Structures are given as structure tokens and as C-alpha cells.
Amino acid sequence: MGEAKGVGGFTLVEVMVSLLIFMIASMGLVPLLITNLQVNHGNSLHAQAQRLVGEAMAELQVVDYASLTVVANEPLLVAEVEIQQEVEQNRPQPDQSRITVTALWQQQGRSHRYQLQTIRSAP
């Protein structure tokens, strides 16, 4: 019996050309991947800031009213997020305190902030 012609695999040149085409096409996806990573990191920082501000505000809601200003004067730094707490006594009225908790962070050269504010009355 004779050998059948055309029955065989790919040549090395064909495989190399197909890999080159695939590599060139894949290089177009790299900027998309980098942008996706940056957006995910930004979303992660924002979620972390929201969580930290919520926790700090919850602590200031349950701490003894007389010691509010002592607790709130110390800024906190958690990873890339700075938490600032401010208590304004007798605002907006006597025997009330305005509590403001702010998260600050930098991303891609821009400043970001997330803030919660409430009013707490003296017991």
C-alpha cells in the first residue's frame, strides 16, 4: 500500500506563525487588564474606607458622652486609609455634639474622602 499524502501534523513554521499571531492579539488586552486591576484596587480602598468609617462612628455612638472629645482626637491610619474623627460640643444646640468621621486616601495622584456625620445628645 502506498503512503497517503497530506496526512500529517502542522509544521514547526505553522505553529510558530500561529503563536506569533496569538501573542500580538493578546498584547492588545494588556492595557485592559491593567485598567481592570486599578479599578478593582480603587473599589477595594473605597469599600475599606466605608467599613472603617462605619466602625469608628459606631464606637463613638456607644462611648460615654463625657469622654467623646478624648476618644475622637486621635487620627487612625489603617493601611492606605486615614480616619479622622471630630466632635463639636454644643453644636447644633447646647447638650448636643456633632460627630464627624472622615476617611482620606490617595489613589493615582488624586485625593479621595468618605464622610459620615451625626448628632448625639447628652443623656
Encode pLDDT of 8-49 as tens digits.
788 999 999 999 999 999 998 999 999 999 999 999 999 999
Q: DSSP letter for 7, please.
A: -
pTM (2 d.p.): 0.76
Q: What average pLDDT does range 1-14 have in this prediction? A: 73
Look at residue 49 and tell me if it is in a domain: yes
* pLDDT for res 75: 84
Look at residue 18 and tell me if it is in a domain: yes
Please say if the pLDDT value at position 50 is more than 90: yes
User: Which DSSP string do the residues of 16-54 spell out, in sequence order?
Assistant: HHHHHHHHHHHHTTHHHHHHHHHHHHHHHHHHHHHHHHH
Angle at the Cα of 108 (from 115 to 117), degrees rounded to 5? 0
* Residues 6+ away with beta carbon under 8 Å from 108: 38, 42
Q: How many domains does the chain have?
A: 1
Q: DSSP letter for 67, please.
A: G
Look at residue 1 and tell me if it is in a domain: no
Handedness of CA 49, 54, 60, 62 (dihedral sign): negative
Question: How far is residue 120's CA from residue 63's CA, in Å, rounded to a whole number?
Answer: 11
Look at residue 52 and tell me if it is in a domain: yes
Q: pLDDT-based confidence at 111, cuts 50/70/90?
A: very high
Look at residue 7 and tell me if it is in a domain: no
Q: What average pLDDT does range 74-96 have in this prediction? A: 91
Position 101: which residue type?
Answer: V
Range of the domain at 75: 12-121
Look at residue 83 and tell me if it is in a domain: yes
User: Quick one: cell of 78?
Assistant: 489603617
Look at residue 5 and tell me if it is in a domain: no
Look at residue 6 and tell me if it is in a domain: no
In terms of Cβ atoms closer than 10 Å to its own Cβ (0-12, 13-18, 19+), residue 49 is: buried
